[in-house]
Amino acid sequence: MRLLKLTIFLWLAAFAFHPRSTAQSQLKRHPALNQAVPKPAVAELCAEGERVPAGDAVSNPIPPVSFRAATEFPIGSTSYDLQTNSSMARRVSRTPDGQVMATWTIGLEQAPAFPDRGTGYNRFDGAGWGDQTTARLEASLRTGWPAHVVTASGKELIVCHDFSAINPYSLRRNGPDEPWIEADVPVTAGPGTVWPRIAVGGPDGETIHMIAITFPIANGGVEYEGVDGHILYYRSPDAGATWDVTDAIIPGLDSGFMGFMTADAYAIDARGETVAIAVFNGWADVNVYKSTDNGNSWETITAYDFPLERYEIDQGYTVEDLPPYDPAQPDSLAIFTNDDSGALLLDHDGMAHVWFGQMYLQDDDLTDGNWTFYPGTGGIAYWNESFGEDSIRTIVDVEDLNGNDTIDIASIDNIANYGLSLTSHPSVGIDTCGNIFLAYSSVMEGDAFIALEDNQHYRHVYLTSSTDGGETWAAPYDIINEDIVFEPDLVAFYEAVFPAIARDVGSNVDLIYQQDFRPGLAVQGDMDPFEINFINFVSIPTGYSCMVGAEETVSPEYFQMEVQPNPARSEAWVSFEPERNARYALSLHNLMGQKVADVDTDEAFGHNLQRIDLSGLPAGLYLVRLQAEDKAAVARLMVR
């Protein structure tokens, strides 16, 4: 008699094998959501800010790790809770040998100035994570906004910024046992540059491409070459040791295209000698600037054509300047666009893929130097070069948890003020087979996900994926669930935002996100009380078949592989049927991929039933790995 099928983590089936159509129609909204509010300030909090007495204690101390499930691992914390003004940087890197490095902006002391603010960093070395990070990497400098890459030779580079000196700042090392070398990135542009982003590419995998914007007027800067917040390009041929291109203006990404740029509203990616930059200013086209010669020359591709050309705030426009009225518009002067938060990926063929949160904006007061946005707007837009110019598709929206085709959020007062769409902060990765993975943060509808303190809806982090180059997308999977989070009883009270995926995906999607128990931010927006926010790492099996070298990863069903009992205590049995009675290897691993044991075959009852000795193993979740010829499958086993 066959063993009972494994029931734990059946999300894999939905995540991997239920594609959605190419475009999703948006859910209905309550009329009260069709209201606009002023766009919040997007510049980060400067060191001089005062709102609560310096040194005030923060709540939510980190509980002992022993109380946390093994599926999710806390790698650090921060009270400074703004990880980006708009788009997420590359915060997680994964190496071919299974190391994972994660970065975030950390600040724990003396809110709101946070003189200790800097680069939070932790590393999984193949066996385990380091102790939870409680201090920045920088020896003495206050920085923020780290972006991390690993070069082909294993060199690590972090680029952040020194907001007081108005300059990008780098930390680099040649290997995990080497010291960090701190240095300024050379900048000669008068206003200085801030909020950098980096990518690694080049013919030898050692070239660093960086973009940053000149210090904006609102932060005390000046206009540069006709643009307030001008994007400039930098290049290093040797992993950040020297820079052969600095302060370069990309053709087309200049004053002829826009008059201003907002913080973090851009992304960069590189693969080989192809490098691309995407721009997500809500008042301009969503453009991709692409080079196929390692950043020497550039072409411009428009993913979304904004209806107004080089718009300046308070300039004014009429309905005649806009496309024909769409019933989905919250106002006749509301303009469909992006929410400044987007992501960019170059696939293995060098084709550009773009995602962004959808938004409606409006400039209805032509005297205030500001604009309004509609926080009730939702949906992630997607585009790739095969679609042609100006041809985006909506691929996900807020999940309709009760199936009534309506987003059950009663009012914009119930939405925490991140200044973004209901679905935003996209972050993307790709595996060796070209399967694409998208993480994003989304508001949760319904009364079950409302925080009592502010009467606001929580946000969760979702994953979706595409196995056909972006034509279809799997049903989104909420990673904030009882099987994954380290506080299963508190799932309904999780605020999960700022997801960051490792760009290079293996058999698992590796990501971090920021989590606390109150919607909104302390640094800006709602200006909530400062509390501890956890930086959590999650590693989620993809469930996809993929050739990695000479080995293909297949689903457990391929071998009719089942584990019983599950959960188990002292022992478990795994049954399977390898092809052609092939030779096989069976092993037990922890969630980080570290081998715990080779399964003993001496007590086997035949060739397709093996006993797993669990005595002495700590409670938690483990992976049972079966390899037969050129195929491998993994099943999960919970040990009590």
pLDDT digits (tens, 9 = 90+) for 600-615: 554 444 468 889 999 8
| Nearest residue to 193 (alpha-carbon basis) of 143, 240, 229 | 229
What span, in angstroms and rounded, lies between the C-alpha atoms of 245 and 248? Answer: 7
Same domain for 506 and 553, yes or no, is no
3-state SS, residue 331: coil
Q: Residue 1 domain-assigned?
A: no
Q: List the domain range (segments joined by +) for residue 467.
A: 13-544
Question: Given a cut of 70, is residue 133 above it in pLDDT?
Answer: yes
Inform me whether the pLDDT recorded for 356 exceeds 80.
yes
pLDDT in tens, 52-93: 333 333 333 333 322 233 378 999 999 999 999 999 999 999
User: Does 369 share its domain with 491?
Assistant: yes
Number of domains in the chain: 2
Distance of CA 158 to the CA centre of its chain: 17
**150 vs 158: CA distance, rounded Å:** 9
Tell me the torsion sign for CA atoms 326, 330, 334, 335. negative
The lowest-confidence range among 70-74, 382-386, 424-428, 477-481 is 70-74
Residue 614 lies in a domain: yes
CATH of the domain at 272: 2.130.10
Q: Would the CA dihedral through 54, 58, 64, 69 be positive or negative?
A: negative
47: pLDDT strictly greater than 70: no
| pTM of structure | 0.81
Q: Are 238 and 206 in contact (CB under 8 A)?
A: yes
pLDDT at 363 over 60: yes
Residue 488 is assigned to a structural domain of this protein: yes
CB 129 within 8 A of CB 122: yes
Low-confidence winner among 339-348, 392-401, 476-485 (lowest mean pLDDT): 476-485
Band the pLDDT of 315: cuts 50, 70, 90.
very high
Residue ending a domain, choose from 503, 520, 544: 544
| pLDDT at 500 exceeding the cut of 90 | yes
Coil, helix or strand for 601?
A: coil
Q: How far apart are CA 31 and CA 398, in angstroms?
A: 16
Instruction: Give residue-wise pLDDT tens across range 372-419.
Output: 999 999 999 999 999 999 999 999 999 999 888 888 999 999 999 999
Question: What pLDDT was estimated at residue 607?
Answer: 61
The pLDDT value given to residue 601: 52
> Do residues 382 and 20 make contact, with C-beta atoms less than 8 angstroms apart?
no
- CB atoms near residue 105 (< 10 Å): 28
Domain check: are 536 and 561 in the same one?
Answer: no
Co-location of 516 and 560 in the same domain: no
Q: Are residues 585 and 446 in the same domain?
A: no
* pLDDT greater than 60 at residue 548: no
Same domain, 500 and 627: no
Strand pairing class (406-407; 28-29): parallel
Integer angstrom CA distances of residue 171 from 181, 185, 572: 5, 10, 47
Q: Final residue of a domain: which of 520, 544, 568? A: 544
536 contacts: CB under 8 Å, gap ≥ 6: 72, 73, 74, 75, 485, 486, 512, 513, 514, 515
Which of 213, 207, 291, 301 lies closest to 254, judged by CA?
A: 213
From the list 308, 268, 259, the residue with the least C-alpha distance to 288 is 268
Bond into 176 cis (ω within 30): no
Q: pLDDT-derived band of residue 591, with 50, 70 and 90 as boundaries? A: low
